[in-house]
Chains A and B, each alone.
Chain A
Amino acid sequence: MPSLAQLLESFPETHDADAPADAALSEMIDSTALRPVPLGRMRRFGLLGTLQAKIAAAYLFYWVRGWFTSAAERERLLAETHWKSAARVLDSMSYLRGAAMKVGQTLANFPDVAPRAFVETLDQLHYDAPPMHWSLLAEMVRNELGDDPQQLFARFEQRAFAAASLGQVHRAELRSGEEVVLKIQYPGIARTIREDMRNLLLFLLPSRLSKDWESVKAQADDLRRRLELETDYEAEAATLTAVRSLFREDDGIVVPRVHSQFSTPRILTMDRIKGVHLDEFVARGPTQEQRNEVAKRLIRAWYRMMYSGRLLYLDFHPGNIMVLDDGRVGLLDFGMMLPLNDELWTLFHVIDRALTTGRREDRIAANEMWCDVDRDAWTADRVEITDAYADWCWRARYCGGEFDFGDEADFREGVDLFAKMAARRYTRAKPCTPVICRSQFGWRSILYRLRAKFDIRAIAESEVKATGWDRSDYL
């Protein structure tokens, strides 16, 4: 994959007099790796505002120029505009990190919405967040674990081997000889996220006049709580331990063990899983059977957590999935989870009925319950579009048999339906809806990348059966 600077150099000649020259833009982006996390609210607000303005201006420019250009030329210009926007988004997110990086990862889960090159560039965020220098990192270890990294561990690699959205990951060896990884958080990132979310709410203020403001605010609050919780590695360690207990050796699913004596709310020390990230696995050209096996293990893990653990895994992206040499699948990063409490579990029963039976009336009942909209707001159009989207989400489940998750037309249909719902503002729903949608597109895009073909219903049914859940009333 070419670097961002190389890609920018390959831009067609720009007609945008106001846009920075490619070389200057490349330099600006290259320099972001050296910038620290900006913590002041006004400074960050200013950055966000500038970014919005840059992107808005780029698209406006395209729109105006589009009046004077042929269709083919318009396509070229649109690609160019996408590119420049991608570069600016990347620039800003490298700088803002934290919550903003989560947005980047979400965008990267839509491989066919944005140009492929755009997504591949954003994908680098999974691995290439700007680093903390060693002195800062060592100070974080001293602050959290009470001693120098070299004293605490038999070996500690100064160079990060991966970047996490909230920090970076280092390999180390315990005095007992076990190989571990430490996920170390950027200092002050929790406060950064709180400020990002306050800024986001300020940007949303114009929606305040709409009747759905309360729902929008509740969804933003829910996202803020989840992002804040994600900064608590102690909570993540507890989740990891709970999830790990759900799997047996023969499941072929690996969840790393936590080393609690070297873990705190800001540092998480876990077993090192040796394997390759999902993208590298795909790039090696595995057979259809090998890709299906990885997909099936991922889905089994997803359903096991859902039905047996009452936990929804929300953070599907290639950087969180490892494929081991023996074909086992490792899952990383359990910071973003949705526990299905009693209220959600009750709602989930209604959804489970719909996605199992495939009956239209069951889907409509589930949608009405989930969207919490007044009876008179359920227009025929709303019913039709939300039902079509739910049908897309659940079709593979209720149909059973081999389903082709690599079918581009099918994937695009889901994205188009989602975009249509958003465009018509049919977004009023339970507060956790944005993270659930993110998760839904997350696992679908992973299966799409794998071009997987398998019977998802069979896996779901075996997982439900293992819990002893009696669903005879569905018939």
Chain B
Amino acid sequence: MRVSAETKQATRDRILRSAQRLFADQGYDATTTRDIARTANIAAGTLFNYFPTKDAIVASWARQALDDATEAFDLEASDVSGLEEDLFSFVALGLRKLKLMRKHLPALLETSLSPLVTHDAGDGPSLRVAQLEVVAKLAAKHGHGEISTVALQMYWSLYAGLLTFWSQDESRKQEDTLALLDQSLNMFVGWLRNNGAARSATNQP
């Protein structure tokens, strides 16, 4: 029997919702794929047709949250004073969308969040690519031209570090993460500015 695309999507959504509930109730480590399948009313084998691992469920959830953030983000916002502020808004919006899964993000450090991974398992380009596309557009908007792969790599390392810090941030309402984000972006944009200036100087006859 062929399963329609709608049914597939509904099953997939049900698995994600079940996983989210179980992670919240009993924690990520204590939740097994068998638990998730049982709660979603599907056979354990069926679950693996959708998600090969538990990490893949978290990755998919994160991808969805960040896609929502990208869609909601106003790339053309004109009331910001610079790249740093625009990037801050973009990352902060992503954090808000990821809030429910904050504590589970370390599960992705060696997979989707790793700077070395370019594709999520069976799930198209990694969430990294979608995020970096926005970063590149914002850099161009603020006059930094075409952003280098080194700069993007640096950005992603800072971003992955920020998410790791955030996942374990015990400060009130995770306010220390906001301070860290401010500092990280200040460093990144400063580096971009100096590096750009240095490149311009080198290119001069």
Contacts and interface: CB of A to CB of B under 8 A. Distances in A.
Interface of A: 34-39, 132-136, 139-140, 142-144, 158, 186-188, 191, 265-266
Interface string B173-205: 111101110110010000000000000000000
B175 A266 contact: yes
**What is the interface of chain B mostly: helix, strand, loop, or mixed?**
helix
A187 B186 contact: no
B88 A144 contact: no
A265 B175 CA distance: 12
Given A134-B79, A191-B171, A266-B172, A37 B88 contact: no
B88 A36 contact: no
A38 B187 CA distance: 12
B89 interface: yes
Contacts of B176: 39, 187-188, 191
Interface in B68-112: 79-82, 84-86, 88-89, 92, 96
B75 to A, nearest CB: 14
A140 B173 CA distance: 10
B85 A134 contact: yes
Given A36-B186, A38-B183, A133 B175 contact: no
Highest count of chain A CB atoms <10 Å: which of B79, B171, B178, B180 = B178
B179 A135 contact: no
Given A36-B186, A37-B179, A188-B178, A135 B173 contact: no
Contacts of B96: 142
Contacts of B89: 135
Nearest to B174: A143
14 contacts: A36-B186, A37-B179, A37-B182, A39-B180, A39-B183, A133-B81, A133-B85, A133-B88, A135-B89, A136-B85, A143-B173, A143-B178, A188-B171, A191-B171
Interface string B126-140: 000000000000000
Contact of B182 (A36, A134, A143): A36
Contact of B79 (A132, A140, A158): A158
Contacts of B180: 39, 188
B175 A143 contact: yes
A133 B89 CA distance: 10
Contacts of B79: 134, 158
B193 to A, nearest CB: 11
B173 A144 contact: yes
A15 to B, nearest CB: 32
Given A133-B85, A265-B172, A139 B183 contact: no
B28 to A, nearest CB: 24
B162 to A, nearest CB: 13
Nearest to A35: B186
A182 to B, nearest CB: 16
B161 to A, nearest CB: 13
Contacts of B85: 133-136
Contacts of A188: 171, 175-176, 178-180
B81 to A, nearest CB: 6
B184 to A, nearest CB: 9
B175 A135 contact: no
A301 B85 CA distance: 42
Contacts of A140: 175, 178
B102 to A, nearest CB: 13
Given A139-B88, A140-B175, 6 more contacts: A37-B183, A39-B179, A134-B79, A136-B178, A188-B171, A188-B179
Nearest to B185: A36
Contacts of A37: 179, 182-183
Contacts of B80: 133-135
- 6 nearest interchain CB pairs? A188-B179, A187-B175, A135-B88, A187-B178, A135-B89, A187-B179
A136 B172 contact: no
Contact of B92 (A135, A144, A158, A186): A135
Contacts of A158: 79
Contacts of A136: 85, 88, 178, 182
A34 B88 contact: no
A93 B79 CA distance: 29
A36 B179 contact: yes
B98 to A, nearest CB: 14
B185 to A, nearest CB: 9
A143 B174 CA distance: 9
B165 to A, nearest CB: 11
Contact of B186 (A34, A135, A191, A265): A34
A39 B175 CA distance: 12
A187 B79 CA distance: 22
A329 to B, nearest CB: 34
A139 to B, nearest CB: 5
A338 B15 CA distance: 57
Contacts of A144: 173
B187 to A, nearest CB: 9
A186 B89 CA distance: 16
Nearest to A37: B179
Nearest to B86: A135
A38 B88 CA distance: 17
Nearest to A132: B182
B76 to A, nearest CB: 15
Contacts of B86: 135
A140 B182 CA distance: 12
A136 to B, nearest CB: 6
Contacts of B88: 133, 135-136, 139
Among B79, B172, B182: residue with most chain A CB under 10 A: B182
A186 B179 contact: yes
A277 B94 CA distance: 41
Interface string B145-166: 0000000000000000000000
Contacts of B82: 133
A188 B179 CA distance: 6
A188 B181 CA distance: 11
A461 to B, nearest CB: 45
